[in-house]
Structure 1
């Protein structure tokens, strides 16, 4: 029985700055790999701690009504929930049994 243990992160090769293509200095991305713990070698976006690949260009939510930044608003969710409630109510009144939620089995 072999147990996998995470090795401590080796910071011997760590550098807080990166040399830019023009020869200047820039902050290094602070993102770390989950697999082996090494640090990303890309330049961080100016004023941020991470590079563009790791989310440095993110500006936040696009839709002010939805905190997740998606296209679905709270009003749409409420409208859908009310419609589902009506469908279940009519189904129960006419004796139609709903199947319920789909499980993740088989996907």
Structure 2
């Protein structure tokens, strides 16, 4: 499935109807990152194991049909402070900085 050519509401509907699993979508997303990030250099930290674990948990619990982002993998900018995740804002000064709290 070429999820990059599928809009968010269609992906969500496929997840709700179990035509697609959050794990499969997450794996496809990680494969896309692997295939393209050397060209775009868009990602500093990729949380593979955590993403797959969350996807498995979402699949086990069931997709929330009222939340269009349920089961959808996403990336956030590296300036959003995330508890325990290296957050550098692409700065060498913050290299290896792991916040002890989340941005709210």
Determine if the TM-score, normalized by the shorter chain, exceeds 0.5: no
Task: Give TM-score scaled by structure 2 length.
Answer: 0.24
Higher normalized helix content (fraction of residues): 2
- If asked which structure has higher relative contact order (CA below 8 Å, sep 6+), I would say 2
Tell me which structure has the larger Cα radius of gyration: 1
Higher normalized strand content (fraction of residues): 1
